[in-house]
Amino acid sequence: MLAQLSSLFGALALVLAVTGLYGVMSYTTSLRTNEIGIRMALGAERGAVLWMVLGESVVLLAVGVVLGIALAAGALRVLSSRLYGLSATDPVTFAASVSVLAVAVLLAGYLPARRASRVDPLVALREE
């Protein structure tokens, strides 16, 4: 029961994190609409703009993974007493959690990136 409840709270935390990351990426992308419009007017392809915005999501992912692994390494003593059937340094668990977070970050960053890549340069330049 406790494991199921913990899994439910973990899934809820992941949904909240993805929603927050989507909001941050959407907001920062909307602030850069003029810049993206200028890039598109000067010949930037949609794929380049898409990867530019997704790259920002990947940077956030990298910072989060590095900080998370550092904090988890610091909390190994507490974690080892709380885990049942797992080692505190289980590489499969760390790899699975990083993979789930990577997929979540890429999904959260894809929608703002796709919207940014479809910016009409004329509309973006008229707004300024």
* 26, part of any domain: no
pLDDT in tens, 78-97: 777 776 666 667 788 788 88
What is the rounded average pLDDT of the residues 108-118? 89
Q: Which of 16, 55, 15 is nearest to 32 (CA)?
A: 55
Q: What was the pLDDT predicted at 6?
A: 85
Does position 8 have pLDDT exceeding 80, yes or no?
A: yes
d(CA 27, CA 70): 29
CB 18 within 8 A of CB 107: yes
* 58, part of any domain: yes
pLDDT in tens, 93-110: 788 888 998 999 999 889
Does position 34 have pLDDT exceeding 90, yes or no?
A: no
Instruction: Count up the domains in the chain and report the number.
Output: 1
Tell me the pTM.
0.77
* 67, part of any domain: yes
* 21, part of any domain: no
User: Residue type at 118?
Assistant: R
From the number of C-beta atoms within 10 Å of its C-beta (0-12, 13-18, 19+), residue 124 rates as buried
Q: Provide the residue range defining the domain that includes 98.
A: 32-120
* 110, part of any domain: yes
d(CA 54, CA 78): 35
- DSSP label of 86: S
d(CA 10, CA 97): 11
* 53, part of any domain: yes
Q: What was the pLDDT predicted at 88?
A: 65
User: Residue type at 108?
Assistant: A
Q: Which of 2, 21, 10 is nearest to 105 (CA)?
A: 21
* 3, part of any domain: no
List % helix, strand, coil for the chain (3-state, nearest 5).
Answer: 85, 0, 15
Confidence tier at 66 by pLDDT (50, 70, 90): very high
